[in-house]
């Protein structure tokens, strides 16, 4: 008698031995959430921890490399990609009596800023870090990116000599505070110390 050979029906059941127990599922979920927590840790532990980790990362990027432009470029990329809510991060260097655009990440920006003009020029002239919670309220602010709403500018010194500024913009109002100022000052100190003696 001819027998019909039926195709085995597709089973949605797991093969024997592959059954996932509730305990295993729970373990997998716990592991997944622990990984998420670790990823979010810098934000959860606050800015000091994030900046401490950036100092370590910057030192490792600088190690053994003394090309000034390459190091400045990598530092701006590190900040742009690691700090939340930042739409521009980069350098302006002092050439004569004006600041000239250096390595940066973000939209194209104005190339030359006279001393005393804009947030960068004022920070350079006053030789101090300036935090601007709302750039639209800063007289003479130079708008390079219409998305920017707040800004921080940190001067760079080689001893007493002003080298330029580090500039960060954010689309969020009030994005930068004293902890950012402290962290960024530490980072530029590490950066300049590494470049010291290179005839900047
Ligand atoms: N906003 C700066 C100009 C530079 S951009 O933000 C990149 C200023 O007012 O000096």
Ligand 1: residues within 6 Å at CB?
88, 109-110, 113, 118-121, 141-142, 144, 148, 151, 167, 169
Residue 181: what pLDDT? 98
Residue 19: what pLDDT? 57
- Encoding tokens for residue 121? 């020029």
Residue 81: what pLDDT? 98
CA–centroid distance, residue 143 to ligand 1 (Å): 6
> For atom 1 of ligand 1, which residue has the closest CA?
142
Domains and CATH numbers, the chain: 42-195 (3.30.450.40)
Closest ligand 1 atom to residue 121 Cα is 10
- Mean pLDDT per segment of 10 residues, for the chain of length 200 residues? 37 45 49 44 71 98 95 98 98 97 98 98 98 97 95 96 97 98 98 72
């Amino acid at each position: 008698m001819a027998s019909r050979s039926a195709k085995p029906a597709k089973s949605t059941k797991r093969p024997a031995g592959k059954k996932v127990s509730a305990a295993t599922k729970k373990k997998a979920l716990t592991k997944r959430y622990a990984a998420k927590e670790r990823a979010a840790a810098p934000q959860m532990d606050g800015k000091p921890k994030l900046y401490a980790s950036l100092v370590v990362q910057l030192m490792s990027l600088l190690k053994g490399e003394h090309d000034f432009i390459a190091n400045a470029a990598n530092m701006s990329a590190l900040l742009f990609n690691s700090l939340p809510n930042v739409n521009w991060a980069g350098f302006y260097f002092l050439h004569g009596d004006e600041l000239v655009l250096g390595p940066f990440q973000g939209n194209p920006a104005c190339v030359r800023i006279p001393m005393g003009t804009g947030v960068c020029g004022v920070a350079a002239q006053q030789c101090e870090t300036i935090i601007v919670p709302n750039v639209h309220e800063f007289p003479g602010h130079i708008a390079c990116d219409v998305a920017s709403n707040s800004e921080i500018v940190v001067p760079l010194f080689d001893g007493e000599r002003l080298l330029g500024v580090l500039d960060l913009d954010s689309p969020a109002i009030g994005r930068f505070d004293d902890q950012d100022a402290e962290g960024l000052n530490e980072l530029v100190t590490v950066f300049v110390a590494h470049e010291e003696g290179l005839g900047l």
